[in-house]
Amino acid sequence: MLISLLSSLEHHNGTKWTLAVRITDGSAILDLDVASDLLTEWIGLTPSESESLRRLSKIDSDSSNPLAVQESRNRKLFPDVEAIRMKFVQNISGAPKPMFKDGHNN
């Protein structure tokens, strides 16, 4: 089984996560959108938390808020893509809860 990313991970100004993936087993291809709730579970941050950290990092770049500098260093803003891929592979093999919104089938 091969899983490819079709889009970048996005947080849409704190409203929801989106990530499109393609799954293929050599005989068929399936394009899917990973559910925002599942991405939140994997990443460990809600989209709004990510947006808040993004705003803090802008303050951080101005060096006007030492607290923002510390928080941005202590929190992981974006997930490690390999860790998400591995968790994704583990979850598609029999996860009891729905993981995807309806996507495009090829």
Better-predicted residue by pLDDT, 100 or 22: 22
Q: Does residue 64 surpass a pLDDT of 80?
A: no
Q: What is the pLDDT of residue 105?
A: 40
Q: What is the pLDDT of residue 62?
A: 55
- Model-level pTM greater than 0.85? no
Query: Alpha-carbon torsion 11, 13, 16, 20, what sign?
Result: negative
- Look up residue 80 and give its amino acid: D
Paired sense of beta strands 100-101 and 29-34, if any: antiparallel
Write the pLDDT tens digit of every residue in 7-52: 998 988 889 999 999 999 889 999 999 999 999 888 888 898 888 8
The SS3 call for residue 9 is: coil
